[in-house]
Structure 1
Amino acid sequence: MAVSALLAMTLAAAQPASPAAAQPGSPDPALDQSIAPDLPVAAGPAVLDAGHVDLGPRYVDDEWTLLIHDDAAQPVWRDPDRTVLRVTDAALRAVPDDPVYGFLGVPAGTDVHVVPQVQHPDVVWVGWNTQDPRVMQTIDRGVTLELADVDGPGEVVMYLQDGTFSEPQVLWRSAEPPGQPMWVEVNTHTHANWVFTAPGVYLVAVRVSADLVGGEQVSATRHLRFAVGDATSPDDALAAQPGEVAAAPPPAGTDDAAPADDTAGGGPWLVVGLVVVAVGLAGALVVVVLRGRSVRRRVEQERTQS
C-alpha cells in the first residue's frame, strides 16, 4: 500500500484528527475549545496567514449570520468581508501518485496549496465550529453548511482523512454543482484539508442554515476571501467582488481570441458566409418576383389588344 498520502506530506509525521475527534470530549487538546458569549466582533480589516481560525454561525444585533472566529492572538470574531485568509507558499505540496487522490482533479506531482487538517505553524488553520453560546441555546441539534459558490482561478476541494492509511472523505468540490450539504452537530469544532489547485484570489461562498428550537428557520450566506500563493495580493482579495474574480488562464499554446466553438463549426467566418448566402438568395428571389410581375403585365396587355 502506498504511504505517500497528501496529508502525511503536508504535516510530516503528524497524525490528522478524525471526524469523531471534533466532537465534545475530544482527546485532541487543539480541538478542545469554548467561546465566550461576549466575544467582540473586530471592526477593522485583517489578513490572517497563520494561526487558528474557525468559520461559525453567530448572532449579530439579533441577526443570524456567519463569522470567522480568530484566536491566533486575542480571541475575536471577524467579518468575512473584511478578513483575508492568506495561504502562503509554505502550504505548497505535490499531489501523491496514488489513485485515491483522483478526486482532486489534477495529475500526480502537481503542486497545490493545502490548508491542512492538523495545524501547521506556517499555514493558516481553517476549520468550523458551532460553539457560540447563543447558537448552542437556540439551534435544534445542529446546522447545515453548504458550498454555495466558488470564484477563483482553480478548483477548491475540502476533505477529511482519518489517519495516513484511511481513504479521504470528500466534503466539498467546487467542480460539482453548488450545495453539497454537510451536517454539523451543536457544540462541534472540526478542521479539514482545503486544497487550492492554482494560486490567486478565491471567493468561497458558504451557506449556514438551521432549524431553531422555537420552530423558526434561519439561513445566511457569506464569502470567505482567500489569497492563495505568495504572489497574490491580500488587497486584491479584500477588494474582490463575487463574479469578478479572474478565471484560470487558457492552457499554453491556445489562442485567447479564438472562440471555444471555432473548431466545432467554422467560427465567425461561417456565420458571415451564411449571412452573405442568405442575402444573395433574398436578392435573387426579389429579381424573380419582379420578372414574374413584368411577364404577367405583358401577357395582360397582349390579351387586351387582341
Structure 2
Amino acid sequence: MINHVLALTLTLALAPAPSPDQTLDAGQSEAAGRAVLETGHVDIGPRLRDGEWTIQIHDDHAVPPVWRDAADTVLRVRDTAEQQIPADDAYAFLGAPAGSTAHVVPQTEKPGVVWIGWNTQDPGVLAAIDRGVTMSLRGVQGPGAVTVFLQSGNLGAPQVLWSSARPYPQPLWVETNTHTHANWVFTKPGTYLLAVDISADLADGSTTSAQTVLRLAVGDATEPDFDTPFTAPLPSGSAPAAAAASSSGTGSSSTGGALVLIAIAATAALTVGGLVIRQSTVRRRAEREAGR
C-alpha cells in the first residue's frame, strides 16, 4: 500500500507527490561495484535474502531496478537542489539563518535531484517481519546540519523525523509495506555520513538488526567519497562505530529501541513525550473493517 503525502518545500510551493503503485520483485538482483546516484528515485530499506538481513539501497532509476550495497553507493545531491531558507520561524529547526542557501532533497520529486525515500517492501522482509521495523539514526558526520522532515497539507506544520541537532539514537517505526519520501536538508556542501540501523521483530519470535553508513556528496564541488570512515562517536548502547562503518553494511541480532511511530497518512499528530506520525490509508482501514 503506497500513499505519498503532499510536500511543502522550502520555497513554500505545494505540489502533490506522485503515488506509483510500487511493487518490488523478489527476483530483483543486487548490483556489484560502486555507484554514484545523482538523479532519479532511490529508497533505503531492509532486505532479507538467503537468511541475511541487510540495509540496501533500491535503485529504481536503473533499468531494470536493482538493489545496491549502501557501502558501495554515494547519493550525490547536485546544486540543482539549492534553495534559500525562508524567513519563517516555522523553519528555525533547520539550524540555518533565513536567506542562507541549503541543499534540499524535496519530499516530491524534482528534476535533476536524486529523490531519496525509504521502503519496507522487499518480499523477503514482508514474509519475515511481524508488524514493521525500527529505522534509527545513530549519528551524523559532516560539515553542516542535517534534517529530515515531513510536511503535509497547506497548513501542516513541519514534522521533524531526524535532526543532527538532537540526541541520538533517533528511532522511527515504519510499518510493513511502507513506501514514503521526506525532505532532506543539508545546510553546507560537503561529504556527509549517516550511521543508520534497521531492526525488527520477526514473525518467528526472534529479532534481527543491521547497521550501515549512508554516504552523501552534497554540492557540485564535492567529489563522491567511498572511503572516509565514520568516526563520529555513537550513543551509548548503540552498535560499535566499527560495525556502523563496516563495508558489508550488516550487523547482528538485537532488540529495537524506543519507538517514534511513522507510517503513511494524510494527517500527523504530536503526542506528549515525542513525535508520533501516524500514516495509514483509507483503503487499509476499509480492508480491516471488511475483514471483521
TM over 0.5: yes
Q: How far did residue 34 of structure 1 move?
A: 0.5
Q: 1:72 aligns to what?
A: 61
SS at match of 1:57: strand
Q: Deviations over 1:245-297 (max 9, x none)?
A: xxxxxxxxxxxxxxxxxxxxxxxxxxxxxxxxxxxxxxxxxxxxxxxxxxxxx
Match of 1:9 in 2: 11
**Structure 1 match to 2:88:** 98
Assess if the C-alpha contact under 8 Å between 1:6 and 1:95 holds in 2. Answer: no
- Residue 152 of structure 2 corresponds to residue 151 of structure 1: no
Could you tell me which of 216, 219, 241 is aligned with 2:229?
241
- Give 2:196's aligned amino acid: V
| Deviation of 1:221 (Å) | 1.0
| Number of residue equivalences | 225
CA distance in 2, matches of 1:171, 1:13: 20
Residues 72-115 of structure 1, C-alpha deviation per residue, up to 9 Å, x if partnerless?
A: 02200000111010000000000110000011011111100001
Per the TM alignment, residue 29 of structure 1 is displaced from its structure 2 partner at its CA by 2.9
1:37 aligned onto 2:26: yes
Indicate conservation of the 8 Å contact 2:133/2:201, yes or no: yes
CA deviations 1:22-42 (Å, max 9, x no partner) are xxxxxx433x20000011110
Match of 1:139 among 129, 138, 146: 129
1:134 is displaced (CA, Å) by 1.1
Question: Does 1:89 pair with 2:79?
Answer: yes
Matched with 1:289 is none
Give the corresponding residue for 2:178: 188
The residue number in structure 2 matching 1:56 is 45
Tell me the TM-score normalised to structure 1 length: 0.71
- Residue 227 of structure 2 aligns with an amino acid whose one-letter code is A
Asked if 1 retains the 8 angstrom alpha-carbon contact of 2:128 and 2:203, the reply is: yes
Residue segments in structure 2 that go unaligned for 5+ positions in a row:
1-6, 233-292
Match of 2:102 among 84, 90, 112: 112
Question: Contact between 1:153 and 1:202, CA under 8 Å: does it hold in 2?
Answer: yes
What residue ranges of structure 1 are gaps of 5+ in the alignment?
18-27, 245-306
User: What secondary structure does 1:140 align onto?
Assistant: strand
* Equivalent position of 1:202 in the other structure: 192
Give the Cα–Cα distance (whole angstroms) in 1 for the partners of residues 144 and 10 of structure 2. Answer: 23
Q: Offset of 1:178 from its aligned partner?
A: 1.3
Checking the alignment, whether the CA contact within 8 Å between 1:7 and 1:164 is kept in structure 2 is no
* Of 108, 112, 122, the match for 1:122: 112
> Which has the larger Rg?
1
Cα drift, residue 61 of structure 1: 3.7
Q: What is the percentage of aligned positions where both structures have the same residue? A: 57
Relative to total residues, which structure has the larger strand share, 1 or 2? 2
The aligned counterpart of 1:287 is none
Q: Distance in 1 between matches of 2:185 and 2:143?
A: 13
Residue deviations 1:105-135, cap 9 Å, x none?
A: 1111110000110001110000000000110
TM-score (norm 2): 0.74
Give, in whole Å, the separation in 2 of the partners of 1:13 and 1:147.
Answer: 28
State whether residues 96 and 109 of structure 1, in contact with CA within 8 Å, keep that contact through their aligned partners in structure 2: yes
Structure 2 distance, partners of 1:6, 1:191, is 12
Please tell me the root mean square deviation across aligned C-alpha atoms, in Å.
1.6
Looking at structure 1, the residues matched to 85 and 153 of structure 2 have their Cα atoms a distance apart, in angstroms, of 17
